[in-house]
Amino acid sequence: MLGRTWSSACGKAMRILRLAMDTGYQAPAVYAWARRAGLAHVAPVKGVENFNRASPVTGPTFVDATSHGKRLRRGAKLWTVDGSTFKAETYRFRLPRPTDEELEAGARHAAGAVHLPSWVDSEWCKQFVGEQLVTVRTRRGFSRLEWQKLRERNEALDCRVYARAAAWIIGADRWPESTWRDLEAQVGKNVAALAPTPTAAATAPSLTSVSNIQNTRSQNRHPTRRIRRVRLSRWME
């Protein structure tokens, strides 16, 4: 799968940059395959359900692996993924979809829209929305949020969560706008239409004005201090 390519809407070939693989079943086999494929391309992951984690993805932590019948101490890297956070992010993307006439007129999909390929069937869509967020009571009487299944199979939703985790691992959430522009150019997307308009560039403050503003704020934050002169005594001379 790592060597397979997919065509973008502009006809450019795309490869998988990072593959996240669940270790919930046959973890030793997953670690061994990840080592053979290369840990720079494959990220073994473990899913947890907890809204109180500081980060949706933590790690990696080193775990033992087996290679050619030998146990390798700290031979693989494991990432912990908070599925609750990414599921909530996915379900928030219920955005209005423009009609075909609006798209022909130049309208664009809203940011965060989920685009599905033409081969997706009804079973895949049911798996994709196969869970719901409910409020449950603990034994101590406190309430907490919990994701519960609406049907037995929900592999499509799990694939979405782990794909989102793979994007987090490669740093997509911290990429600057220039990186996204470069990626769009690589897949053949017209980045000129997404460039800032001249009006926005004309109204943007210059570097000189920004520097002056920062200096003014710095002076206001640190007012001029009064110099205190200390006269040393000469009685020990």
| pLDDT tops 80 at residue 126 | yes
| Dihedral angle of Cα 92, 94, 98, 103, to the nearest 10 degrees | 50
Which neighbouring-strand residues pair with 146?
A: 134
Average pLDDT, stretch 43-51? 89
Query: What is the rounded distance in angstroms from the CA atom of residue 6 to the CA atom of residue 12?
Result: 8
Closest by CA to 39, choosing from 78, 13, 1, 70, is: 78
- Asked whether the predicted pLDDT for residue 60 surpasses 70, the reply is yes
What is the pLDDT at residue 226? Answer: 52
Tens of pLDDT along 221-231?
Answer: 444 455 555 44
CA–CA separation, 77 and 144 (whole Å):
31
Residue 216 has pLDDT above 50, yes or no: no
pLDDT of residue 214: 43
pLDDT digits (tens, 9 = 90+) for 6-43: 888 788 888 888 999 999 888 888 888 888 888 888 99
83: Cα separation from own chain's centroid: 12
